[in-house]
Amino acid sequence: MSKGVEWELYRTFLAVARCGSLSGAARQLGIAQPTVGRHVAALEAALDLVLFTRSQTGLLPTDAALALQPLAQAMESSAAALARAAAGHGRGDGQGVAGVVRISVSEVVGIEVMPPLLAALRTRHPALALELVLSNDVHDLLQREADIAVRMTEPRQEQLVVRRVGAIGMGLFASRAYLERCGTPRGVDDLEGHTLIGYDRVPPYVRALLLRYPALARERCRLRTDSDSAQLALIRAGAGIGACQVALARRDGLVRVLPQAFALDFDTWIAMHEDLRASERCRVVFDALAEGLRVHAGAS
């Protein structure tokens, strides 16, 4: 390459790779479809590579595209982090804590625990903007995919500022209506006659859990979803017995089932990149979330 490639071309490349079509990428980016096609062609010419092949289902990334994609995603994360950092030094100056903070958290914690914490932060710091990423995947703080992350496993990277906020208890729960209708199991063997709620595709951390509790194996669950929030909604609705955070179950009036046979504590951590230690907005959000999650963990 005789000249550098503009970031805009890589951004379009990522959109096409994610959407599988020029039209889908155009809708995602808010630009015309011919522009997307020109961007892809320009990037292929600049790199002297074929990035996509056509198929009946759309555009398929080539091996070269698959190799480039994680690098382009790192560029995307860096560009977003740059924009967040710039926002913290712009028009919000003089209005107290200002700027954008991106928070990565698991789905159920993001939906069930975070809203009042974020609402309180916005009340205290109205110039603060908060981005909430709901995912059970671990976002890479070193690549700046997020500014702050809440995790159920201890982060090990040396470049992170890490704080343990406590242990969140988990147990088996059901609604009172379900137990009145179907009875309360008195032992693990009694679960055989009950509707269990669990995962469809079993991630590694759940697979390890099931080795300890084989009674909750996927094939024994008659209701399956990979969404923790959907599992909680099914338990609330009286659909069956499933795993739930103790604090959330108490709040919703759910009944614990077999507490002696099934009890887990997940250490919970909050982390951010050490480069953000000097950022007032990130420090304020980090401390507020750490305290709010400490209270939530203590309710377990």
Tell me: pLDDT of 85 over 80: no
Q: pLDDT tens for residues 111-141?
A: 999 999 999 999 999 999 999 988 766 656 6
Tell me: pLDDT of 257 over 80: yes
Distance CA 140, CA 11 (A): 19
Tell me: pLDDT of 300 over 60: yes
Residue 2 falls inside a structural domain: no
Residue 140 falls inside a structural domain: yes
Same domain, 98 and 129: yes
Look at 48-57, 148-157, 165-174, 201-210 and tell me which has the smallest mean pLDDT.
Answer: 201-210
Same domain, 38 and 87: no
Percent of the chain surpassing pLDDT 70: 91
Average pLDDT over residues 288-296: 95
Tell me: pLDDT of 92 over 50: no
Whichever domain contains 114, its CATH number is 3.40.190.10
Average pLDDT over residues 49-61: 88
269-278 burial by CB neighbour count: b if 16+ within 10 A, else e? bbbbbebbee
Domains in the chain: how many in total?
3
Beta strand pairing call for 128-134 and 99-105: parallel
- 157 vs 258, higher pLDDT: 258
Same domain, 43 and 88: no
**Residue after which a domain boundary falls, among 57, 80, 103:** 80
Beta strand pairing call for 255-257 and 160-174: antiparallel
Q: pLDDT tens for residues 229-252?
A: 999 999 999 999 999 999 999 999
Per-residue model confidence (pLDDT) at position 1: 44
Same domain, 44 and 101: no
DSSP string of 102-113, one letter each residue = EEEE-HHHHHHT
Residues in the chain: 300
Per-residue model confidence (pLDDT) at position 78: 76
Average pLDDT over residues 4-28: 89
Percent of the chain surpassing pLDDT 90: 59
- 153 vs 269, higher pLDDT: 269
Per-residue model confidence (pLDDT) at position 87: 65
Per-residue model confidence (pLDDT) at position 3: 57
Whichever domain contains 66, its CATH number is 1.10.10.10
**To the nearest whole number, what is the mean pLDDT of the chain?**
88
Print the domain residue range for 228: 168-266
Residue 7 zone, left/alpha/beta (φ > 0; ψ -120 to 50; rest) = alpha
Distance CA 78, CA 23 (A): 26
Distance CA 206, CA 199 (A): 8
Average pLDDT over residues 31-37: 92
Same domain, 90 and 149: yes
> How sure is the predictor about 74, in pLDDT bands with cuts at 50, 70 and 90?
confident
Per-residue model confidence (pLDDT) at position 137: 66
Same domain, 177 and 257: yes
